[in-house]
């Protein structure tokens, strides 16, 4: 491996990258190349999703192992829905043995048709359990929803759920992606007003493909503002036009977030490097 992966320069804005575990040998090889390209931007860490899109624990752990072996800090996403205390205890032991020091602790979602079951109801229960079992062995990230989680009883109930995760021992939060900076600033202000002072890092989804973006956003509750939706539709099959427009929009969002005090950026890479690299260049976070 030839790329210097020393941690982010202290003066730089902390950036992290999210990947999903590939399902094929070709995907594994491609992701290795993607990571090398992205490591040149000296991320603070790289995270690997778990359970989303039917991925397995071995897929997540395998990708995490590779990232650690490349000299990069890795965050393993870790969900508790359907799990027992015993199974979580075993996974925590395995992660510690692998040298993992950072987790993204989540409730997660079961595929439709499965009953919830399990011994954990919410991510706050998981955070509390991890702290009780492992003390400070892990830096714990949790999810935050500036536009409110789709299953929340109300925006206030969702904020309280976020407060519970912070009070249970989370160190930092990463948001669901959004394209409305005001929703983020309001969420952070509301959390601060409820006594939560952990950093809330905006999750950023580059716009490269309108069909995919609209599908994800319907599932996750992330709002695509009407003007963006209409502009994307108007591009039709013009993928170059979509990418250029998306870069303008998302770079503007990132600048606004950073100017307003966001503590860093977490990029949902979708296992691609080009869009994230172009975005960081445009925002002025070059190599």
The nearer residue to ligand FAD, 121 or 233, going by C-beta atoms, is 121
Q: How far is the CB of 201 from ligand FAD (least distance, A)?
A: 9
Footprint on this chain of ligand FAD (rule: CB under 6 A): 49-52, 77, 79, 104, 106-109, 122-124, 143, 149, 151-152, 157-158, 161, 164-165, 174, 176, 203
* Closer CB to ligand FAD, 65 or 231, in the complex: 65
Nearer to ligand FAD, 124 or 217 (CB): 124
| Exposure b/e, 55-87, CB count within 10 A at least 16 = b | beeebbbebbbbbbebebbbbbbbbbbbbeeee
User: Where would I find the beta strands (DSSP E) of 97-233?
Assistant: 102-106, 139-144, 172-175, 200-201, 203-204
Judged by beta carbon, residue 104 or residue 265, the one nearer ligand FAD is 104
Q: In whole angstroms, how close is the CB of 185 to ligand FAD at the nearest point? A: 17
Nearest CA-CA partner of 162 in 193, 204, 123 = 123
Residue that has been written with the tokens 């989303």 in this structure: 52
C-alpha 101/C-alpha 112 separation (Å) is 32
> How far apart are CB 128 and ligand FAD at their closest, in Å?
11
CA distance 46 to 17: 5
Instruction: Give me the least distance between CB of 137 and ligand FAD, in Å please.
Output: 20
Query: Residue 108 — φ and ψ, nearest 5°?
Result: 85, 175
Residue 201 or 228 with smaller CB distance to ligand FAD: 201
Q: Which helix (H) or strand (E) holds 210?
A: helix 210-220
Please give the full DSSP string across 10-39, using - where no structure is assigned.
Answer: TTSPPEEEEE---SSHHHHHHHHHHHHHHH
CA-wise closest residue to 136 among 94, 103, 161: 103
Could you tell me the smallest distance in angstroms from the CB atom of residue 109 to ligand FAD? 5
Q: How far is the CB of 239 from ligand FAD (least distance, A)?
A: 27
Catalytic hit among 18, 44, 141, 147: 18
Q: In what order do the strands lie in the sheet with 203-204?
A: 200-201, 172-175, 139-144, 102-106, 74-79, 45-48, 15-19, 265-268, 203-204
Q: Is 156 a catalytic residue?
A: no
Under 8 Å CB-to-CB from 94, ≥6 apart: which residues? 61
* Residue among 49 and 208 whose Cβ is closer to ligand FAD: 49
Residue 59 near residue 33, CB atoms below 8 Å: no
Catalytic residues, by residue number, are 18
């Amino acid at each position: 491996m030839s790329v210097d992966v020393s941690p982010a320069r202290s003066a730089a804005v902390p950036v992290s990258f999210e990947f999903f575990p590939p399902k094929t040998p070709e995907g594994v090889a491609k992701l290795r190349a993607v990571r090398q390209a992205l490591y040149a931007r000296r991320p603070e860490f790289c995270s690997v999703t778990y359970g989303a899109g039917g991925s397995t624990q071995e897929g997540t752990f395998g990708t995490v192992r590779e990232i650690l072996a490349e000299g990069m800090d890795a965050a393993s996403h870790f969900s508790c829905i359907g799990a027992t205390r015993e199974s979580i205890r075993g996974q925590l032991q395995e992660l510690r043995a692998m040298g993992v020091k950072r987790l993204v602790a989540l409730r997660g979602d079961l595929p439709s048709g499965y009953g919830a079951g399990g011994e954990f109801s919410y991510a706050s229960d998981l955070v509390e359990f991890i702290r009780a079992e492992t003390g400070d062995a892990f830096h714990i990230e949790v999810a935050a929803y500036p536009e409110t989680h789709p299953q929340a009883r109300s925006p206030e109930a969702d904020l309280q759920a976020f407060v519970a995760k912070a009070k249970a021992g989370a160190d930092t939060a990463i948001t669901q992606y959004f394209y409305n900076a005001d929703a983020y600033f309001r969420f952070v202000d509301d959390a601060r007003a409820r006594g939560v002072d952990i950093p809330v890092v905006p999750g950023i989804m580059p716009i490269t493909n309108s069909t995919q973006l609209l599908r994800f956003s319907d599932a996750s509750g992330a709002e695509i503002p009407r003007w963006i939706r209409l502009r994307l539709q108007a591009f039709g099959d013009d993928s170059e036009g979509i990418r250029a427009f998306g870069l303008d929009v998302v770079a503007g969002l990132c600048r606004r977030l950073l100017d307003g005090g966001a503590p860093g950026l977490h990029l949902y890479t979708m296992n691609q490097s080009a869009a994230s690299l172009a975005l960081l260049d445009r925002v002025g976070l070059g190599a």
